[in-house]
Structure 1
Amino acid sequence: MPFLESLEAWSFRIFGGVAPSFLKHVFEFKGYLERAKIKIYPATYVSLMFFIALLTLPVSIASLVLLYLYGFLPLLFLVPIPFYVMIGFLLIPMSKASDRASALEREMPFAATYISVMASGGIAPYISFKRLAEVELMPAMSSEAREIIKDVEIFGIDPLTAIEKAAKENPLDVFRDFLSGYASTVIIGGDITHFLERKAEDIFKTRAMRVKVAAERLGMLLETFIIVMVLMSLSFYILFSVESIYSIGMSTYSSMLLYTYLFT
């Protein structure tokens, strides 16, 4: 996008000298950007963060002036808006990395099984990744496979190094362990097929345990909800029974409580 590129150029021209110091002493963005698959140089990203924060500075100044003149307290939330921008730039890579890991985690058991089955038939995992790159049913794994293929066929990296690189830049620990373990097994001359089969089995067991834990938590929440609903129903029954017997003049408040209970 031309506008974004020009914005990055202007920001780097203004804050390019400050960005390396920020990366060195305050916050290192490189790993987060790689795991989030944000294709931008870390110093440029930091420069863009400072530039956008600078653009929002007039809003903070105007909010301070209006707050001083008119005392409109909601304007107080607009005063630290440059800091909101900086916090947003810090959180964006983390959020994208989390989304990437979540999408890949859902497909990882099936991809690991496919790779292990293909390896047992004598097909190298790199060839399996080339085939996974064309599978539309697993878009997250297909995207990761295309990155490996791009490193090999465009940048000339050997397949094993490309797989190690993909493991280092991925936010999902299961995927990192799977690829780095495969690379280590190849380097030391171990049994690749046995490793892949065991790893796929472990991934399925871990996934099954997580599903079981989630089901138990959901069951506990449902039980709590049912208990609360039963107790509330009994409480209202007792309340209206006492009111009808003794006529203590709580009809208006009781009706309000009943409507609140029914419609919330």
Structure 2
Amino acid sequence: MSTLPEVSDVFERVETKKGEYLKTKLTQRGEDIGPHGVRLTKGAVPDYVSLTKFQDLSWRIMGKFASDKMTSANNQALEESLNKAHMRIRVEEYYAYVLMSTIIAFAIGVVIAVVVGIILFGVLGVSIMVRIMISGIAIGLLPMMAFMMLMGSPASKAKSRGRDIDKRIAAAMGFISAMASADVNIDVIFKELSRQKVYGEISEESSWITRDTELLGSDILTAIKKASKRSPSAKFQEFLQGVVTTSTSGGQLKPYFLLKADEYQKENKLAMKSQMETLGMLAESFVTVVVAFPLFLVLIMAIMAIVGGGDSDMMVTLLYLIVLGMIPISQFGFIFVIWNMSQEGAM
């Protein structure tokens, strides 16, 4: 009868560093780490989650206050956003970091208000009421913007991850259905998917499923349930919930994977068609708004400046504003919109 090794030998093989557990191999029954152990790669070391220096300072100063002020509703919403964004920081630590950043922004706003007030009063001679209004805006606006941006940052990052998953899910379903057609187990499918970095955030989600099964000891269905709750993509959540439902109801996963792959491929084609129609509409608008209208306006104003009896200097100034201001800004605006659409649609 085989015996387990010393405790030190067992823990020498335990690690949590991302990427290392994707290279593990299940050991055979009776080997030195037990009947259901996982042999990790040689040289694997723990990956400790540590705060930055500023986050650590924020926690030391504002930690107790942040822990007391976080209500259950705010705590749950912020924690959910942090999990979906894969930001490895506790909700109390992040809230302390937000509060400390807001205090610093308030101090900077006070300094700016004092400097602006001195300039307005000493140099420009602005009235006291105007100085108070401008100083109040400088003091209140900066910390308010800092607080709102930092509190919304996890949700914004989670939405960005969700968009990345949605645009890659059709290709990922092709990979999953191909693996399922070869009768590969579901846990191995997600492990292999986590190694394919071309699938972006879907690969990241799959690596967390593999982590839950091979390091944390969860069964594959429990790991998939957890992944569906923390996924920022509604499509990926639906897919994972369908995997659990199909498995627990006794259905076959292979037809389900093939059906979802075909469904997402059709949705992807419709999305690409809609994007092309939008780009065509933007191209027509670009020709009308940025090319034809400014050219027509410049010609009309030039003729008015030459033959009109009014102030020609004003017409020349307006021409400069149109040529040097309106036309470049409108062009860069259209370029940004088209670039943003191409980034969302790109793999």
**TM-score using structure 1 length:** 0.83
Deviation at 1:106, TM superposition (A): 2.7
Counterpart code for 1:83: M
Whole-Å separation in 2 of the counterparts to 1:243 and 1:10: 66
User: Does residue 40 of the first structure (1) align with residue 89 of the second (2)?
Assistant: yes
Match of 1:166 in 2: 227
Instruction: Note if contact 1:67-1:73 (Cα within 8 Å) is conserved in structure 2.
Output: no
Once the two structures are superposed, what CA deviation does each residue of 1:3-46 show, in whole Å capped at 9, x if it has no partner?
A: 23343243213432222x3x436873121111111112222222
Partner residue of 2:14?
none
Alignment of 1:42-191 (within 5 A): 42-62=91-111, 70=121, 71=131, 75-80=135-140, 81-191=142-252
How many angstroms apart in 1 are the aligned matches of 2:63 and 2:292?
Answer: 62
Question: Which amino acid counterpart does residue 213 of structure 1 have in structure 2?
Answer: S
Please identify, of 171-180 and 40-49, the stretch whose mean Cα deviation from structure 2 is larger.
Answer: 40-49
Task: Please list, as runs of the form range in 1=range in 2, the aligned pairs for 1:1-12 lying within 5 A after superposition.
Answer: 1=51, 3=53, 4-12=55-63
Q: Which residue of 2 aligns with 1:16?
A: 67
Please say which of residues 147-156 and 216-225 is displaced more in the overlay.
Answer: 216-225
Q: Which of 308, 315, 340 is 1:248 aligned to?
A: 308
Deviation at 1:117?
A: 1.8
Contact residue 58 and residue 96 of structure 2 kept, 8 A: no
Stretch moving more, 186-195 or 167-176: 186-195
Q: Report matched runs for 1:177-256 at 5 Å.
A: 177-228=238-289, 229-234=291-296, 236=298, 247-248=307-308
Letter in 2 for 1:15: A
Question: 1:153: Cα distance to partner?
Answer: 0.9
Change (3 A) 1:159 1:241: same
Return the offset for 1:171.
0.7
TM-score w.r.t. length of structure 2: 0.65
Secondary structure at 1:137 match in 2: helix
Specify every segment of 5 or more residues in structure 2 that has no aligned partner in the other structure, as ranges.
1-50, 122-130, 328-347
Higher deviation after alignment, 225-234 or 100-109: 225-234
Distance between the aligned counterparts of 2:81 and 2:197, measured in 1?
27
Identity across matched positions, percent: 23
Distance in 2 separating the partners of 1:127 and 1:113: 16
Q: Distance in 2 between matches of 1:252 and 1:167?
A: 66
**Change over 3 Å in CA distance of 1:14–1:258 after alignment to 2:** closer
Query: What do you get for the CA RMSD once the two structures are aligned?
Result: 3.0
Q: State the Cα deviation string for residues 178-222 of structure 1 (Å, max 9, x = none).
A: 111111111111232221111111112222222211211111121
What letter matches 2:247 in structure 1?
V
Flag structure 1 segments of 5+ consecutive residues without an equivalent. none
Specify the SS of the correspondent of 1:43. helix
The 3 A distance-change label for structure 1 pair 125 and 110 is farther
Distance in 2 between the 1:155 and 1:120 partners?
29
Q: Letter of the aligned partner of 2:187 in structure 1? A: Y
Alignment partners' CA distance in 1, 2:153 and 2:176? 32
